[in-house]
Structure 1
Amino acid sequence: MPTNLTLKGIPDELYAQLKSAAELHHRSLNSEAIACLEGALLPRRLSAQERVSRARALRAGLKPGAFKPADIDTAKRQGRK
């Protein structure tokens, strides 16, 4: 069952941004706030095809030979620490 939440002391600038976003997306302030919370807090699962497409797009932006095998091995070791 949905729960109600009251926010107090919202800075004017943040409120204005939320209001603008709500108008842009044709949502109420409440619906826009929920959408913002979902986007920030709930992980979005990517399909395998989306992951492959993103990886290919990243690789397409690299110059051929930009990384030597030793560079890749170093990055792998650093990522495992």
Structure 2
Amino acid sequence: MPTSLTLKNIPDILYERLKASAEKNRRSLNSEAIVCLESVLLPTQISPGERLARARQLRASLFPGKFHLQDIEAFKQQGRP
């Protein structure tokens, strides 16, 4: 069962950002606040397999041959004793 919540003493800058986000997304202030709370408090669980598939897809979208392992290792060691 949904519950009501009253927020007090919201900083002006936070209120303005919430209001602007609500307008941009064509939502009420209440709906936008719920979406914001859900995104922080109820993060989506991603399975390890799905995370790995996303990483492989991202890697495949990079320019092939542009980055070589030895170059990456050399950049990582630059400036280190």
TM-score (norm 1): 0.67
Structure 2: distance between partners of 1:58 and 1:18: 35
Q: Provide the rounded CA distance (Å) in 1 between the counterparts of 2:45 and 2:25.
A: 23
Q: Deviations over 1:6-42 (max 9, x none)?
A: 1000000100000000000110000000000000111
* Other-structure match for 2:38: 38
Tell me if 1:12 matches 2:12.
yes
Residue 75 of structure 2 corresponds to residue 63 of structure 1:
no
Q: Name the CA distance, whole Å, in 2 between partners of 1:17 and 1:58.
A: 34
The amino acid across from 2:54 in the alignment is: R
SS at match of 1:8: coil
Tell me the secondary structure at the aligned position of residue 39 of structure 1: helix
How many correspondences in the alignment? 68
Aligned to 2:26: 26
Q: Structure 1: state its 5+ residue gaps.
A: 68-81
TM-score of the superposition, structure 2-length normalised? 0.67
RMSD of aligned residue pairs (Cα, Å): 2.7
Unaligned runs of 5+ in 2: 74-81
Matched residues in 2 for 1:58 and 1:20: separation?
35
Q: Which of the pair has more CA radius of gyration? A: 2
